[in-house]
Structure 1
């Protein structure tokens, strides 16, 4: 990001939330760096320098502000930054990847050499990979000390430090504070629970996001009531698997989502918060997306692209829901979860807030390995048809083997092509998975019958011509259209996938 000092200072002086997380301001008179929305008195222009990451500010000797708390700033969406690979690496670091691995493993994960990753990272962020990782560990530790009552030993381990001694030394060296001194600054009377706040760039169409998720709720793993979303999750950290639950509630006055995690996720906090960011698309720049979509976004500004906690889960939902109603799909998925999902142990359910009138949370969604190994008889008992059974199992085997990855770091075009090679997955299903599992902002289900009807087009080619004006944000356009007109899959997930049956008519349509 090219930081124009005059523009940045105007944003600081006006506390403009559109710039929150896009840069940080270092104040030489205090040695502190802040978010542009910090409520302290605006510093003098000659005392300000600007940095595109917290790590860069810390590299230049600044300490994080204890008032605006830079660790709460919203992050970047992958589409915001030209250096997609560098940002992909940064996202993995933010989510705790380097607590169990080094730079070489990080480079391998995103598909480049270690030397190339170091060069990309320095060019994009102005700091080394290790400097960035160190800053993220410290900011996470600062958040845990401030927002939870976890013992210091657990804070050090959860943040990725090998020992409390190492944690104390780094914290004192970088911030001039000890863990206990930092904890004394936290609010008194905190409940013994894991509660965090995740910032976003306003506006956020929370009601529209909940409406999208609410009609797709699978009993046993999800609940939606009022303005609250609650679900189970499983997080793998190294060789350890952590089961628990997460509760999301919007706090619009503070422009944050309040996230409550079960205590069993104490050692998977960065990974769990990363899943929440992806589900709610908190890295979105609504000012950019809404301006590009124009009148389409006028009725519901701040619409997010609904993501997922697990890409394979979204794929299974899409396959199960082909051709049938949302009610039927939900019943089948609920039975599949109860028969093949991993039950939550009593410890993981401790502290679970009750939600009146909702079926209890009992399981996490089945893994790809579990569904690959699931006997045909169990699929039939759940109500899965033989054709969909074969498709789910074929996809699960490709996920287990690593042939296909369904996460935001996967190359979208290549992944869509590989998905379409699976018998039973056509373009609609592949594009829908790309929208939600990969977070691909330009994915678009051009064969969607309801969207074609709304846009008054009759062929796939005409659909692409009609929607070209919304590129590269066509996935957001699809969400707006489904929401505005109440068309499937907003009223049923998903609608029939015209390409799933490999029909002759569809082949002719594709050729057109």
Structure 2
């Protein structure tokens, strides 16, 4: 990144939050690397080296700053990746840093060979995928040491290190500290009492009230609660060995720090990287809001305030849950769809003990729906779900039971939407909606959607489609902005 050192140093000197997570600064006089928003004393330009990723800074021998905490930096935005494959690979490595999944398995998931992935990843980020993965684990461990009182062994296992000895050796090699020494430098340890709280960074501004209102309006009774300006939900996940882990998460907002606080029940520590990755997706923490707004501010010529800087694209925590919710919402109101989803959860969901009022169940897995058999309409009809919707849900469960078809962010949206529309009962609206929320596809658009037509009543769907061309590649964000005006 040294070709633009003058501009990067200017952004570092200005503490410009727009660049947080887009580059890191190695400081030769101290041997540490910082985020561009670090508030420590400004180093001289000749002492600064700029890196695309934290992994590259660590491979160059720099240690993470204890003041700005690089582990809190927002993840790489899709706008930053010249190669979409590399962007998706980086997110998969973050998500799977605790699973033990091999690079070959990740490459297969992305539809390429591990040799090709290694080559393009190194060309883009100047570190190998393995080095990037190692840094993800080390930074998660540092976050846990700083914000919790978990033991060294618990931290090592939660961060994805299979060996305590290897963890201690790597931590000491990279950070020139033993893990317990880092903890001694922090304030009084936090007692976890069956839960831990971590921080996840984002690029400001963040329209927290709008995304919380969106999620509250679609919350499924028994699974999700929005209360006291926080989002809470149950969690049921399995690890690479097939072990099931149940618990809960609570997400709040810390605007002064540009972070979300994420509290996780201790029962979910074995799948912590997966939980955090899903939270990042749900709350769109990879977004670069000013880049989105630069394109979409033209919407305000149609109606003042139509596009709001900081609007996020609500993702999802559970793809099957959100997809079923989308199917149930076809041609009925949001409230009616929530009622049907709640009935489905009460009848076929798994009970989860959380000790939190309103959080009682996890959503039925695809296997639980398939276990009902071909006469699915007979079972779901008793809940008020019409036969056509019941059969669509059954076919959706059959497709998602195949691990190759989970419609995650690593898939090609165009191809995955074709698979969705091959399911009887899923048309363009539902496929686009699932791509928008499950695949984090930024360019979905729903010209026939009732909410969009209500927000712009003077335009036909055909006119809306033409109008939306000026909003590419952020039409998903345009859609959310239109919904938010209702």
Taking structure 1 as the reference length, what is the TM-score of the superposition? 0.89
SS of the aligned residue for 1:4 comes to helix
Between the two proteins, the alignment pairs up a number of residues equal to 475
Divergent runs of 4+, >4 A: 456-460
Give the whole-Å Cα distance in 2 for the aligned partners of 1:294 and 1:101: 42
Q: CA shift at 1:98, angstroms?
A: 6.2
* Superposition pairs of residues 379-394 of structure 1, within 5 angstroms: 379-394=380-395
Partner of 1:104: 104
Give the whole-Å Cα distance in 2 for the aligned partners of 1:295 and 1:128: 40
1:268 aligns with 2:279: no
Q: Does the C-alpha gap of structure 1 residues 101 and 37 become closer, same or farther in structure 2, counting only changes over 3 Å?
A: same
Q: CA shift at 1:191, angstroms?
A: 2.3
Please say if residues 21 and 35 of structure 1, whose CA atoms lie closer than 8 Å, have aligned partners that are also in contact: yes
Please say if residues 289 and 311 of structure 2, whose CA atoms lie closer than 8 Å, have aligned partners that are also in contact: yes
Partner of 2:286: 283
Please say if residues 98 and 271 of structure 2, whose CA atoms lie closer than 8 Å, have aligned partners that are also in contact: no
1:338 aligns with 2:338: no
Q: Does the C-alpha gap of structure 1 residues 275 and 372 become closer, same or farther in structure 2, counting only changes over 3 Å?
A: same
Please say if residues 231 and 252 of structure 2, whose CA atoms lie closer than 8 Å, have aligned partners that are also in contact: yes
Q: CA shift at 1:330, angstroms?
A: 1.4
Give the whole-Å Cα distance in 2 for the aligned partners of 1:49 and 1:155: 31
Give the whole-Å Cα distance in 1 for the aligned partners of 2:106 and 2:39: 37
Partner of 1:508: none
Q: CA shift at 1:413, angstroms?
A: 0.6
Q: Does the C-alpha gap of structure 1 residues 218 and 2 become closer, same or farther in structure 2, counting only changes over 3 Å?
A: farther
1:324 aligns with 2:332: yes
Q: CA shift at 1:455, angstroms?
A: 3.4
Q: Does the C-alpha gap of structure 1 residues 99 and 3 become closer, same or farther in structure 2, counting only changes over 3 Å?
A: farther
Partner of 1:489: none
Please say if residues 445 and 476 of structure 2, whose CA atoms lie closer than 8 Å, have aligned partners that are also in contact: yes
Per-residue CA deviations over 1:221-277 (Å, capped at 9, x if unaligned) read 000123111111122221222111110111111111111001111111111111111
Give the whole-Å Cα distance in 1 for the aligned partners of 2:272 and 2:403: 25
Give the whole-Å Cα distance in 2 for the aligned partners of 1:338 and 1:80: 43
Give the whole-Å Cα distance in 2 for the aligned partners of 1:317 and 1:257: 26
Please say if residues 99 and 161 of structure 1, whose CA atoms lie closer than 8 Å, have aligned partners that are also in contact: no
1:250 aligns with 2:248: no
Partner of 1:378: 379
SS of the aligned residue for 2:211 comes to helix
Q: CA shift at 1:458, angstroms?
A: 6.2
Please say if residues 109 and 404 of structure 2, whose CA atoms lie closer than 8 Å, have aligned partners that are also in contact: no
Q: Does the C-alpha gap of structure 1 residues 396 and 67 become closer, same or farther in structure 2, counting only changes over 3 Å?
A: same
More deviation in 467-476 or 182-191?
182-191
One of 278, 283, 297 as aligned partner of 1:294: 297
Partner of 2:205: 203
Q: Does the C-alpha gap of structure 1 residues 445 and 16 become closer, same or farther in structure 2, counting only changes over 3 Å?
A: same
Give the whole-Å Cα distance in 2 for the aligned partners of 1:420 and 1:115: 33
One of 307, 318, 326 as aligned partner of 1:310: 318
Partner of 2:120: 120
Q: Does the C-alpha gap of structure 1 residues 2 and 364 become closer, same or farther in structure 2, counting only changes over 3 Å?
A: farther
* Superposition pairs of residues 14-413 of structure 1, within 5 angstroms: 14-97=14-97, 99-192=99-192, 193-238=195-240, 239-296=242-299, 298=305, 300-344=308-352, 346=353, 349=354, 352=356, 360-374=358-372, 376=376, 377-402=378-403, 404-413=405-414
Task: Indicate the RMSD between aligned Cα atoms, in angstroms.
Answer: 1.7
Q: CA shift at 1:97, angstroms?
A: 4.3
More deviation in 270-279 or 178-187?
178-187
Please say if residues 98 and 133 of structure 1, whose CA atoms lie closer than 8 Å, have aligned partners that are also in contact: no
Give the whole-Å Cα distance in 1 for the aligned partners of 2:456 and 2:73: 38
More deviation in 190-199 or 21-30?
190-199
Give the whole-Å Cα distance in 2 for the aligned partners of 1:428 and 1:15: 42
Give the whole-Å Cα distance in 2 for the aligned partners of 1:191 and 1:300: 39
More deviation in 449-458 or 221-230?
449-458
Q: CA shift at 1:327, angstroms?
A: 2.4
Please say if residues 2 and 50 of structure 2, whose CA atoms lie closer than 8 Å, have aligned partners that are also in contact: no
5+ residue gaps, structure 1, are: 355-359, 487-512
5+ residue gaps, structure 2, are: none
Partner of 1:9: 9
Partner of 1:492: none
Q: Does the C-alpha gap of structure 1 residues 71 and 296 become closer, same or farther in structure 2, counting only changes over 3 Å?
A: same
Give the whole-Å Cα distance in 2 for the aligned partners of 1:108 and 1:98: 18
Partner of 1:436: 437
